[in-house]
Amino acid sequence: MGRVLQVVACCAIGEALVWHAPLLGRGTRGIARVGASSSSGDDAMVSSSPEGERPSARVLLGKFYELAVPYFKETSEARWLLARVVGLTLLQSGVSVVFSYLSRDFYNALSAKDVASFRDILLKFCGALAAGVPVTVLYRFERETLALRWRNWLTRDLLGKYCVDRKFYEVEYNSTIDNPDQRISEDAAAFAAVSLSFGITALTSIVDLASFSTILYSIYPPLFGAIVVYATLGSVLTAYVGRELPDRNFRALRREADFRYALVRLRENAEAVAFYDGAVPERRRAQDRLDRAVDAQADVIRTQRNVEFVTVAYRFLVQVLPVAVVAPLYFAGEVELGVVTQSSSSFNHVLSDLSAIVTQYEAIAAFGAGLDRLAAFADTLQRDDDDEEEPAAGKPSSPDVVLETRSLAVQTPDGTKALVDDLDLELRLGQRLLITGASGAGKSSVLRTLASLWRPKSGDVSLVDRAVFLPQKPYCSLGSLRDQLLLLNTDDPIDDDHLLHALELVGLRALAAIDPVQGLGVTKDWASMLSLGEQQRLAFARLVLNQPKLAVLDEATSALDLDTERRMYDLLKTKLGDDLAVVSVGHRPSLLQHHDLRLRLDGTTTPQLEPITDADRRAAAQTSII
Ligand SMILES: Nc1ncnc2c1ncn2[C@@H]1O[C@H](COP(=O)(O)OP(=O)(O)OP(=O)(O)O)[C@@H](O)[C@H]1O
């Protein structure tokens, strides 16, 4: 019975549902995580709950409330639209009742061969059509408009929370949430459409139930009793036969997402897999996951078959049951033929209102799964909001200081690895600091902490406002060549001559000539078209255009030849000179030429800060790595 209540609590009645299993299974892990390892057959990818552990009806209802209500609380337009939809829903039910009576009179006139009444009813029928058609059309239009606006609001709300304070980074690296992209786009849209569908059908059902029950009762009270017994029996029997269905549905969704993720990994890493000749293990892995998904789906369809034995018999029986109950009255001449047909159509109406579990068992279970996913995502965004303050850096104590750390201790976000202890650093305009150390020593982690991506274990970081970080992996946004150059200058207008000059300085002027008509407006998939070195040079062009006070470069020249590396650092020197401080991370000895201070992470947690001398530079020139 708990399962029955759970399903009923999700919503009273459902009709055509769009939130289907395939939709939920359409999963990709976040692109940034594609290179990361995924646990084999990890079923915890789709839902926030572990396999087999679905939230209770009460929890689901709470989640539904939290997701659904804010839109209607916050915008008066939403309330008006909802009011219109509710009004049209009631009118729509009224239209059904009117047609039920017209149909009764129609058949009565027909069986009595009463031509005058028949004509009269045909006229009434045309009048009812004139009123009923606009109601039906507008009902659907307003309802879809509301679903669209609700989706828009919900998606914007999630997107806003996701993009604020680098939440996308938190979600990607510090949470168990998979596929945030899918949740923001597809799950939010499905939530709005399905919730509305459920809400409206629930309302329609209540109104229908009241009006058609009255009709049934007025025709013949035992008919009303028959329907209550029939619907109750049907619902209980279906819930019992299909009791495994929600869990099996959940499992099938997870495994489908697992399978899709294996394919996405292959697509995203196509070049690396081709170089490694790794298609065979990738295929084996994908096939394993496909097998698991197919097994889970086979379980689902077996259970569905059993449920269908009940539901199909139920639907067939209802064709004759009301007529069979009223037939004795008709044979006894106590009611006319129209009453028999009206009782049949009213019976069908009431039955569909009472038969939520029978008709929508699978759909409601799928809705619960989707709701759980979306709510878990919203919770994560909200939880981070309620957490302690973001680890924002303070401001340096003096105008020519661009970066200061006081007793800074750095550790990995999970707290398992202490990387740096007690770092005191003061960097002034014009100074150039190189951070060196073995792979895995914590160089990038120090930069992440300086950029406030990671919370310091202890100590403070102060940073000028105009600081720019270039990550190890170059980044190109979607958009034109101009957009790539202005990535750091989204607010300042910069004319095309300056942009072209910056391209010239980094040896990429030819990019503006790819399309002579569009010039800087040319749009390509820059990340896959440009070589790694070209993307790194593009990043230097951005620096020149942005003119920051502090540039933090994480192996930003690793893909460049030594000559180009020198030209890039010289460019910063000639263009920005003493108005810029630089912090670089790198392994190459050549980098010593471009820096005057060195922070050595030598495997202990105590970093060594030292000036770089000419002797160091000469000695380093004899080695291949520093
Ligand atoms: N999000 C994370 N969670 C847990 N450990 C992490 C995380 N990110 C990095 N680490 C670990 O922290 C250590 C330092 O990583 P970091 O990227 O700072 O090294 P690095 O010195 O920059 O190395 P490389 O020169 O190879 O780029 C590594 O052992 C790494 O595995």
Mean pLDDT on 113-123: 91
What percent of the chain lies above the pLDDT cut of 90?
A: 35
Q: Whose CA is nearest to atom 28 of ligand 1?
A: 440
First to last CA, the chain: 70
Q: Which of 417, 446, 447, 584 to mutate to test the pocket of ligand 1 (most atoms within 8 A of CB)?
A: 417
**pLDDT score of 355:** 64
Q: Which CATH class is domain 401-621?
A: alpha beta
State the helix-helix crossing angle for 279-331 and 245-268, rounded to 10 degrees: 150
Task: Give Cβ neighbours of residue 461 (< 8 Å, ≥ 6 apart).
Answer: 393, 394, 403, 404, 405, 408, 449, 450, 452
Quick one: pLDDT band at residue 398, thresholds 50, 70, 90?
confident
Q: Which residue has the tokens 């659907």?
A: 140
Q: Which amino acid is at 283?
A: R
Task: Give Cβ neighbours of residue 522 (< 8 Å, ≥ 6 apart).
Answer: 480, 481, 511, 512, 514, 515
Instruction: Name the DSSP letter for residue 429.
Output: T
Q: Which amino acid is at 222?
A: P
**pLDDT score of 55:** 65
Nearest Cα to 134, choosing from 80, 91, 196?
Answer: 91
Which pairing describes strands 458-463 and 479-480: parallel, antiparallel, or unpaired? unpaired
Q: Whose CA is nearest to atom 16 of ligand 1?
A: 442
Q: Which residue has the tokens 């006070």?
A: 549
**What is the C-alpha to C-alpha distance for residues 77 and 458, in angstroms, rounded to an integer?**
48
- In this structure, are residues 364 and 6 in contact, taking their beta carbons and an 8 Å threshold? no
Residues whose beta carbon lies within 6 Å of some atom of ligand 1: 173, 412-414, 417, 419, 437, 439-445
The token pair at 267 is 């697509």
Q: Where in the chain is the domain with CATH 1.20.1560.10?
A: 2-22+45-379
Residue 502 φ/ψ, nearest 5 degrees: -60, -40
The phi-psi region of residue 169 (left if phi > 0; otherwise alpha if psi is between -120 and 50; otherwise beta) is: alpha
Superfamily of domain 2-22+45-379 in the CATH hierarchy: ABC transporter type 1, transmembrane domain (1.20.1560.10)
- At 435, is the secondary structure helix, strand, or coil? strand
pLDDT at 434 over 90: yes
**pLDDT score of 1:** 35
Tens digit of pLDDT for each residue in 537-583?
999 999 999 999 999 999 999 999 999 999 999 999 998 888 999 99
Kindly list the strands in the beta sheet with 608-611, ordered across the sheet, starting from the edge strand earlier in the chain.
Answer: 467-470, 550-554, 581-585, 432-437, 597-601, 608-611
CA of 482 to the centre of ligand 1 (A): 33
Q: Which residue has the tokens 């799964």?
A: 369
Quick one: pLDDT band at residue 42, thresholds 50, 70, 90?
very low
Quick one: pLDDT band at residue 40, thresholds 50, 70, 90?
very low
CA of 280 to the centre of ligand 1 (A): 30
Mean pLDDT on 388-409: 81
CA of 177 to the centre of ligand 1 (A): 22
**pLDDT score of 49:** 43
Tens digit of pLDDT for each residue in 258-271?
898 889 888 878 87
**pLDDT score of 528:** 84
**What is the C-alpha to C-alpha distance for residues 522 and 506, in angstroms, rounded to an integer?**
18
**C-alpha of 209 from chain center:** 37
Mean pLDDT on 314-337: 84
- In this structure, are residues 208 and 350 in contact, taking their beta carbons and an 8 Å threshold? yes
Tens digit of pLDDT for each residue in 470-486?
988 888 888 899 999 99
Instruction: Name the DSSP letter for residue 509.
Output: G
**pLDDT score of 356:** 57
pTM, rounded to two decimals: 0.68
Q: Where in the chain is the domain with CATH 3.40.50.300?
A: 401-621
Mean pLDDT on 357-379: 74
CA of 441 to the centre of ligand 1 (A): 7
Radius of gyration of the chain (CA): 34
Residue 516 CA: distances (Å) to CA of 399, 510, 519: 45, 10, 5
Q: Which residue has the higher pLDDT, 504 or 228?
A: 504
CA of 611 to the centre of ligand 1 (A): 26
- For 337-376, letters b (16+ CB in 10 Å) and e give ebbbbbbbbbbbbbbbbbbbbbbbbbbbbbbbbbbbbbbb
Ligand 1, closest atom to CA 437?
Answer: 21
pLDDT at 170 over 80: yes
**What is the C-alpha to C-alpha distance for residues 620 and 598, in angstroms, rounded to an integer?**
13
pLDDT at 347 over 50: yes
**What is the C-alpha to C-alpha distance for residues 421 and 457, in angstroms, rounded to an integer?**
9
Q: Whose CA is nearest to atom 4 of ligand 1?
A: 412
pLDDT at 221 over 60: yes
What percent of the chain lies above the pLDDT cut of 70?
A: 86
Average pLDDT, the chain: 82
Ligand 1, closest atom to CA 447?
Answer: 18
Task: Give Cβ neighbours of residue 105 (< 8 Å, ≥ 6 apart).
Answer: 117, 121, 338
Quick one: pLDDT band at residue 6, thresholds 50, 70, 90?
very low
**What is the C-alpha to C-alpha distance for residues 105 and 217, in angstroms, rounded to an integer?**
18
pLDDT at 2 over 70: no
CA of 553 to the centre of ligand 1 (A): 16
Quick one: pLDDT band at residue 62, thresholds 50, 70, 90?
confident
Q: Whose CA is nearest to atom 8 of ligand 1?
A: 412
CA of 340 to the centre of ligand 1 (A): 77
Q: Whose CA is nearest to atom 26 of ligand 1?
A: 439
Tens digit of pLDDT for each residue in 490-522?
677 888 999 999 999 999 999 999 999 999 999
